[in-house]
Amino acid sequence: MHTISALPGNTYAATATAARFDLYVFIHKALREFMHHTVAAVGAMDLDDAGERADVLDQVELLLATLRGHVQHENDFIHTAIEARRPGGAADTAGDHVEHLEAIANLEDETHALRTAAPAQRALLALRLYRHLAAFVGENLLHMQVEETRNNAALWALYRDDELVALHDRLMATIPPQEMALVVRWLAVALSVPELAILFADLRAKAPPQAVEALLGVVRQQVSAPRWARLAQAIGREA
Ligand SMILES: [Fe+2]
pLDDT string in tens for the chain (239-residue length)? 566 555 555 444 445 555 899 999 999 999 999 999 999 999 999 999 999 999 999 999 999 999 999 999 999 999 999 999 999 999 999 999 999 999 999 999 999 999 999 999 999 999 999 999 999 999 999 999 999 999 999 999 999 999 999 999 999 999 999 999 999 999 999 999 999 999 999 999 999 999 999 999 999 999 999 999 999 999 998 87
What residues does the ion ligand 1 have nearby, CB within 5 Å? 74
Smallest Cα–Cα separation from 161: which of 15, 11, 23, 55? Answer: 23
CA dist 30 → 81, 115, 117 (Å): 23, 26, 31
Cα 239 to ligand 1 centroid, rounded to whole Å: 36
The total number of residues written for the chain in this structure: 239
Domains of the chain: 23-160 (1.20.120), 175-239 (no CATH)
Cα 36 to ligand 1 centroid, rounded to whole Å: 17
Cα 49 to ligand 1 centroid, rounded to whole Å: 35
Cα 139 to ligand 1 centroid, rounded to whole Å: 11
CB 239 within 8 A of CB 228: yes
Residues in contact with 171: Cβ distance below 8 Å, sequence separation at least 6, in sequence order? 73, 76, 77, 78
Q: Where would I find the beta strands (DSSP E) of the chain?
A: none
Residue 223: predicted pLDDT = 97
Residue 11: predicted pLDDT = 44
Cα 193 to ligand 1 centroid, rounded to whole Å: 25
Residue 10: predicted pLDDT = 46
Residue 238: predicted pLDDT = 82
Residues in contact with 71: Cβ distance below 8 Å, sequence separation at least 6, in sequence order? 97, 100, 101
Cα 93 to ligand 1 centroid, rounded to whole Å: 6
Q: Determine the residue type at 203.
A: L
The CA angle 200-202-206, to the nearest 5 degrees, is 110
Cα 7 to ligand 1 centroid, rounded to whole Å: 15
pTM: 0.92
Report residue 52 CA to chain centroid gap: 24
Residue 129: predicted pLDDT = 98
If you ran DSSP here, which 8-state letter would residue 20 be given? S
